[in-house]
Structure 1
Amino acid sequence: MDLRTRISELMPQARAELAELVSIPSVFDPRQFPVEECTRAADWVRAAFAAVGFEDARLEETPDGSMAVVGSRPGPDPAAPTVLLYSHYDVQPPLDDAAWRTPPFELTEVDGRWYGRGAADCKGNIVSHLAALRALGDDVPVNLKLVVEGSEELGDGGLERYVPEHADLLRADAILVCDTGNAAVGQPAITASLRGLVEMVVRVDALPSELHSGVFGGAAPDALAALIAMLASLRDAAGDTTVAGLPHDEVWDGAPYDEAAFRSDAGIGDEESLLGSGSVSDMLWARPALTVVGIDCPPVVGSSASITPTASARLNLRIPPGTDPDQAERALTDHLRAAAPWGVSVECTTEFTGAPFRARTDGPAYRTMRAAMSQAYGRDPVLLGQGGSIPLCNVFEETYPDAEQVLMGVEEPQTLIHAPNESVDPTEIERMALVLALFLQDYAGS
């Protein structure tokens, strides 16, 4: 029986396992969710991989208190290359339950897709790994290592700090970072670059307290109006991010993101303008992008006829490969201070930064993965960028400079990761399991 047939026959088990995993609300945020659920998910992952040959699979506590599942499975030849499999079992919060078409922690099939929080990001990758390993059985000619993270979504850096302190434990020739995805259902892709980020809160103080707008308005400075003016300066009329000192006209050199497909994926109508002077791919993967993700100011309901003395905004700046996050942080801070009107006081507090990442695409692991994807999907993969950041990739690069990283996974634009109604196309789980099995079978000979 060939691998494709074996994996097809394993899909009912994969669905049952994904249903079990999705039912565990493994959100790693001790302030809002019980830590016990993350421990339950970690135990499930440990037991599942122990059953497919990772006999030493165990839980390791990382510096942020989360538990990572680590393990190894030696191959028949100690001199064969080593492959590290990475994914994560923690998930985003469900957000607005009322916005879900189905219960967020109950795997539900609708129109051929499987809905549930974590179905794609990243529990779908976990069950894909398990299906591949079951299909291969004992026919795995490489040495395997495993790390399944428990706090990737929190972004607190637990595994990033753990890896350098336990470098030999996870050392490998090829690292498969299974936390990205394809260009579309049925169109395989390898992610070649990730944007970095600067998360910053800017606070504007204009007055010691509220003042009656009828008595003082017109002469007294308004903190909210000042903040609005500062935020408006961050983009020009075309929608380009205009932070001085950051690149503005770079061009993406990988596969293009078709504008019609992007509009469909994002739910943007033809009558609405897309932002920026470049192509969709340029704006997403080659240029900086500033998003205002939150504002603290008086709400509409309950507000009074008063001048706002203090206002704050949380800013998310995504930066392309080649841009240093410290430089971007300074540039954003300098821009905000220069744009502040009326002598208001400005305080910029950086919450965290992350460096961008560009993968090497000229090594044996990359070539083997391209061949595996072509065989599994019947079409060649394309090179994509991702707007999301995975700081762990930079840690892997610094700790294992000779290792190749291949970024891949079951996600695609329709999965709506991090949003209500996250889902996965089961054919992507099946085909990515075949990709992984073919890669593990062929990599040693590459």
Structure 2
Amino acid sequence: MQSTENATAHDGAGNAGTNVRTLGTEEIRRRVDDDWHRVVDVLSAKIALRSVSAEGITADHMKRSAEFVAEQMRLVGIDDAHVVQSHNPDGTPGAWEVVGSRIVDPAAPTVLLYAHHDVQPVPDPTAWDTDPFTATVVGDRLYGRGSADDGGGIAIHSGALHALGDDLPCNIKLFFEGEEEMGSPSFIPFLSEHRAEFDADVIIVADSGNWSASVPSLTTSLRGNTDVDVTVRVLGHPVHSGQFGGPILDAVTLSSLLIASMYDAEGNLAVPGIDSQEPVGGLQRDLDESTFRHDAAIVDSYRLAGTGSLASRVWTKPSVSVIGFDAHPVDGSFNVIADAARFRLSLRTAPSQDPRKAQRALADFLVSHAPFGAEVSVECGENGRGWAMDPECEAVQVAQRAMADAFDTAPVNKGEGGSIPFIPELQELFPHAQVIVTGPEDPQANAHSPNESISLSGLRNNIVTEALFLERFGR
């Protein structure tokens, strides 16, 4: 076991003050183990709260979720943790947010801990093997909606703060938001009203994941995101398919042709003005195709689309998905040619591209490639910027060493294909802050999907990692 040494702290005037112990890895690990049942209980209780923001970000169930999280943070030393309601850009009431701070020494570094307490909906509970809102342990995994995204992030922060206790050597600020799964519409107004509560030397965003449950990672990049709603019209009204079919293609077929025109023969997105990018900081390890196929439950006959490394296709190259399509259902269908069809495209952009530029390029392409001269109109939706890590900053170096010690293996940096738009917004407002993106997920987590789960051994090591980071960065 590593020894525990004494280190000199400073009081608020910057003078030598009380002695605060420097904690070794094994001491922190022992403290996390002693606290383990509490951490699991907190996560289980959080899952049971059903904090689905899509059912109303201002609703009582979201307020209860925020109050629960604030209470848990007070129990681990953030005495002033409390709930504040944000406001949307139009002034209407917004999400219930959790904020708080613990200042151990004004001269010490300050770390902002981020997570979100809202979760994704469960459209079909029958697709789950367990009750989605009852924490269920199977082997090394705990199942439940929000177990990983982002109840796991809250559990990491709670466990790390408890492990350090009175030996915490850095200042802490908290921001746990209640609408991340809804795109954080009130984030900027909230930030404007509570600017001082975000100012920090380091921001830890615990909303991503590791290479695997046993191999840790910092997230090097996040793709941006944007969406468009597209309407394709060919007729003023539906007509009989026997009388008019042939010269007139139905709107669903025309929409399919339009969607297919975005891709080349290899399945690469080929829309002028939408950028592509290679992995930030270079590719340390490519994704394993067999594991990728297994985790996504890909049918055996399907050939993966695109060219280049699998990692680049998932992390840093653009992608488009049809996430909604309005068409007549099969049941009750009859022999008419559909006059119009409407669909929504979700575009993930390269980390460095302005999503507004990519959105405009996509809209222009769709209108100019209208098949057979059909009418195509595009309605542009919201945008979120991507983000890329600075691999040379001090926080990254400290975090990577903490990961190696906690997991007893070298970390493998990786990108994420998803988006967390508030990170670039926050870094733009606080350019001096070093941002590191960690998180509780792994390839088996199934965040946003049925049977979401978290690795318990991975969670334990993530807590040790964050405690080590706070301990070492605070020195």
Fold agreement, TM-score > 0.5: yes
Distance in 2, matches of 1:186 and 1:335, equals: 44
Are positions 1:141 and 2:165 aligned together? no
Are positions 1:89 and 2:89 aligned together? no
- Write the deviation string for residues 379-414 of structure 1: whole angstroms up to 9, x where unpaired: 121211111110110111111100000000111110
Are positions 1:6 and 2:6 aligned together? no
Q: Which residue of 1 aligns with 2:287?
A: 257
Q: Which runs of 5+ in 2 are unaligned?
A: 1-25, 89-93
Matches within 5 A, 1:351-370: 351-370=381-400
User: Aligned-pair distance for 1:158?
Assistant: 1.9
User: Aligned-pair distance for 1:156?
Assistant: 4.0
What is the one-letter code of the residue matched to 1:35?
Answer: A
Q: Secondary structure at the match of 1:188?
A: coil
Pick aligned residue for 2:178 from 134, 150, 153: 150
User: Aligned-pair distance for 1:161?
Assistant: 3.2
User: Aligned-pair distance for 1:260?
Assistant: 2.3
Q: Secondary structure at the match of 1:61?
A: strand
Distance in 2, matches of 1:21 and 1:251, equals: 35
Q: Which residue of 2 aligns with 1:203?
A: 231
Are positions 1:345 and 2:375 aligned together? yes
Q: Secondary structure at the match of 1:346?
A: strand
Pick aligned residue for 1:266 from 296, 302, 320: 296
Query: What is the CA RMSD across the aligned residues, in angstroms?
Result: 1.6
Matches within 5 A, 1:57-68: 57-64=81-88, 65-68=94-97
Pick aligned residue for 1:230 from 245, 258, 262: 258
Matches within 5 A, 1:236-251: 236-248=264-276, 250=278
Q: Secondary structure at the match of 1:138?
A: helix
Q: Secondary structure at the match of 1:80?
A: coil
User: Aligned-pair distance for 1:444?
Assistant: 2.4
Q: Secondary structure at the match of 2:474?
A: helix
User: Aligned-pair distance for 1:342?
Assistant: 2.5
Task: Assess if the C-alpha contact under 8 Å between 1:221 and 1:344 holds in 2.
Answer: no
Pick aligned residue for 2:221 from 178, 193, 207: 193
User: Aligned-pair distance for 1:250?
Assistant: 4.2
User: Aligned-pair distance for 1:424?
Assistant: 0.5
Distance in 1, matches of 2:324 and 2:200, equals: 40
User: Aligned-pair distance for 1:34?
Assistant: 8.3
Distance in 1, matches of 2:310 and 2:383, equals: 24
Count of residue pairs the alignment pairs up: 443
Distance in 1, matches of 2:258 and 2:131, equals: 41
Q: Which residue of 2 aligns with 1:433?
A: 463
- Write the deviation string for residues 202-253 of structure 1: whole angstroms up to 9, x where unpaired: 0011111111111122234532221111011122221111112223574662
Task: Assess if the C-alpha contact under 8 Å between 1:250 and 1:287 holds in 2.
Answer: yes
Q: Which residue of 1 aligns with 2:68?
A: 44
Q: Greater CA deviation, 53-62 or 404-413?
A: 53-62
Q: Which residue of 2 aligns with 1:301?
A: 331
- Normalising by structure 2, report the TM-score: 0.90
Pick aligned residue for 2:101 from 72, 75, 84: 72
Distance in 1, matches of 2:444 and 2:300, equals: 19
Task: Assess if the C-alpha contact under 8 Å between 2:132 and 2:143 holds in 1.
Answer: yes
User: Aligned-pair distance for 1:286?
Assistant: 2.2
Kindly, what percent of the aligned residue pairs are identical? 38
Distance in 2, matches of 1:111 and 1:268, equals: 24
- Normalising by structure 1, report the TM-score: 0.96
What is the one-letter code of the residue matched to 2:96?
Answer: M
